[in-house]
Amino acid sequence: MSTINEIQDEIIEDLSFLEDWMDRYEYIIDQSESLEPMPEEDKTPEHLIEGCQSRVWVAGEVDGEGRLRLRADSDAVIVKGIIALLLRVLNGQRPQDVVDADLYFIDKVGLHEHLSPTRSNGLVSMVRHINLLAVQAIVGGKE
């Protein structure tokens, strides 16, 4: 399995070939297709991300190998693409690695500066929620 930084570097490289932001948005939207469908029973208030303009759910638990397994969905295609990128980087990683991660790809590809303020705040909320899931796994001794 690739490390968090290796996956971030892959994303940065993928997007480096796309100089136009319309092409980058298309890439991000295409990433939404990589998300496994989230079961409806996971779309609960507990998994709903506060601070997002659109509805975003993120759920997760630790598997038998001590890796964080995340599921997510959104009702907005661009947001679904953004959460797909986050899951591409963080899904299947150890909870402590998720907590320790510097998600530098977000700034390197210009996501913060090209998202609307509400979407940018939503991105921060998604990262915070995933970190909380990782911390809960660590505290719960499931790492």
Catalytic residues: 52
Query: Half-sphere exposure of 46 toward its Cβ, with a 13 Å CA cutoff?
Result: 6
Q: At what angle do helices 4-16 and 21-31 cross, to 10 degrees?
A: 140
Is residue 47 within 8 Å of 120, Cβ to Cβ?
no
Q: What length is written for the chain? A: 143
* Single-letter amino acid code for the residue at 97: D
Which pair of structure tokens corresponds to residue 109? 């590809």
Both tokens of residue 100?
């320790």
